[in-house]
Amino acid sequence: MPDPSPATYPFTSGAALYVRELGVDIPDLLEKRVYNRARARGAERVTQAIEGKIEKNVGTDMPAEFEVLSYPVARMIVSCIGDDYLIRRYALAEAKAAHESLVGEQRSVLVAMGQEFGMDIDISEQRFRLHFTDYVRYAHRMHDTGWKLVNRQLQSGWLSLSVREFTRLLQEAIRDRIQHDLPLEIPSETNICDKLSGHIAAVKESLGARKTEFEIGGEVNPDAFPPCIANAITMLQGGVNLAHSARFATTAFLRNIGMSVDEIVGMFGGSPDFDETRTRYQVEHIAGHEYTAPGCDTMKTYGNCVGADDLCGRIVHPLNYYRIKKKARVSGENAGAAQAAVRQTA
């Protein structure tokens, strides 16, 4: 059975073994000129993750061993920065990149990858048979109702998945592993973060730009919420059972502006029939995937654009609305400043 390629799947135990066999120690990897490209690729992995997609390093003359070595470099950079948002975003991007490669793999590689995560797998009639305990471990955060265990056919504890479903489940397992292992413990006496300081500065700049783009972090200002989101929150707190699309948009929006899972669950908790377990499950799912809140066009399509005001006529995304209005309010200026900010967008 062929092993998953270490360069394509650097998070596997096989890749870790490969790195050990290369005999490259951390000081050499971080200091020697010969590994410049591995370090640069490691930083690139992280900046691309921030942008949303780690591109495959194809069509270059990069040796496979440097591609493998770039992965521990990337993990060290992420760990030195130690930002929760970055960790989630990086893990998700690595998992998505791996999924893209898995889609074209032979079944035997998919089975080997499943075994990497301790899954008991059998292939029968072109479908993957999996024990339900392995399934729920990774499927419980999936969005669509089709992933819910009650919607799957079980036979003596086993269920059947298409190739597409199985590779998607593997993506979740990969994300889980990468995210769970970060941040690495980096002893200060190793000076690892100092040695990577140039790359860390560049990644921090990208991270800062990404956060500024959607005003992630900083104090949350509910007065600056766009009408659609303010309306949805009012409805939720009043016990109205919102459509899934509205609940999703609201949760993603609140995550994007930097609210924690606990804060969001607390915000939804005003209604008399509030089900904390169910709400937390839904919020954690959305938080885990780093979804970006839908834009105004999508909100309109699903009937979730409610109460649009003058500022809405000048923006295309609820997060832009929030950013502009918050900026005007934080500056301590009055409605005139808000109008000025609005005019700047015209």
Q: Write down the least CB distance from residue 222 to ligand SF4, Å.
A: 15
Nearer to ligand SF4, 280 or 327 (CB): 327
> Tell me, what DSSP letter sits at residue 311?
G
Q: Write down the least CB distance from residue 328 to ligand SF4, Å.
A: 15
Nearer to ligand SF4, 56 or 300 (CB): 300
Which residues of the chain form contacts with ligand SF4 (CB under 6 A)?
226-228, 296, 299, 305, 307-308, 312, 318, 321
Nearer to ligand SF4, 8 or 231 (CB): 231
Nearer to ligand SF4, 157 or 313 (CB): 313
Nearer to ligand SF4, 12 or 304 (CB): 304
Nearer to ligand SF4, 46 or 228 (CB): 228
Question: Counting Cβ atoms within 10 Å, is residue 182 exposed (0-12), middle (13-18) or buried (19+)?
Answer: middle
Q: Write down the least CB distance from residue 342 to ligand SF4, Å.
A: 12
Q: Write down the least CB distance from residue 226 to ligand SF4, Å.
A: 4
Q: Write down the least CB distance from residue 251 to ligand SF4, Å.
A: 15
Contacts of 253 (CB under 8 A, 6+ apart): 229, 293, 318, 319, 322
**Residues 10, 110: Cα–Cα separation, whole Å:** 15
The alpha carbon dihedral of 32, 35, 37, 41 has a sign of negative
- The angle formed by the CA atoms of residues 262, 264 and 265, to the nearest 5 degrees, is 65
**Residues 289, 91: Cα–Cα separation, whole Å:** 10
Cα radius of gyration rounded to whole Å, the chain: 23
Q: Write down the least CB distance from residue 144 to ligand SF4, Å.
A: 24
Residue keyed to tokens 């109702």: 145
Contact of 194 with 161, CB cutoff 8 Å: no
The beta-carbon contacts of 130-135 under 8 Å, at least 24 apart in sequence, are 130/158, 130/159, 130/160, 130/161, 130/166, 130/169, 131/157, 131/158, 132/157, 132/158, 132/159, 133/157, 135/159, 135/161, 135/169
Nearer to ligand SF4, 114 or 226 (CB): 226
Q: Write down the least CB distance from residue 299 to ligand SF4, Å.
A: 4
Residue keyed to tokens 């024990």: 131
Nearer to ligand SF4, 17 or 240 (CB): 240
Q: Write down the least CB distance from residue 10 to ligand SF4, Å.
A: 40
SS3 213: helix
> Tell me, what DSSP letter sits at residue 304?
-
